[in-house]
Structure 1
């Protein structure tokens, strides 16, 4: 079952991205490198609880 998650930038603490993941196959926190408009470059975004 897929659930919606929010991604938060580790550097600026902005919550910019909404995505989904399958918790049965990926129980760990998701960590993606995405674009941050405030930093004007790519940064690490980590899954946060709603």
Structure 2
């Protein structure tokens, strides 16, 4: 969502829509997977 204010200097604020906020769970899952993968690679001596 983009909110434009008629001020000088110009001001614009951005925020997530409801649909965008729903994507947070997907990103959180990817973060968990990525951290687990890093731990796996470190344990295997590959990092």
| Structure of higher RCO (CA pairs closer than 8 Å, 6+ residues apart) | 1
Which structure dedicates a bigger proportion of its chain to helix? Answer: 2
- By the TM > 0.5 criterion, same fold? no
Q: What's the TM-score, normalizing by structure 2? A: 0.23
Tell me which structure has the larger Cα radius of gyration: 2
Which structure dedicates a bigger proportion of its chain to strand? Answer: 1
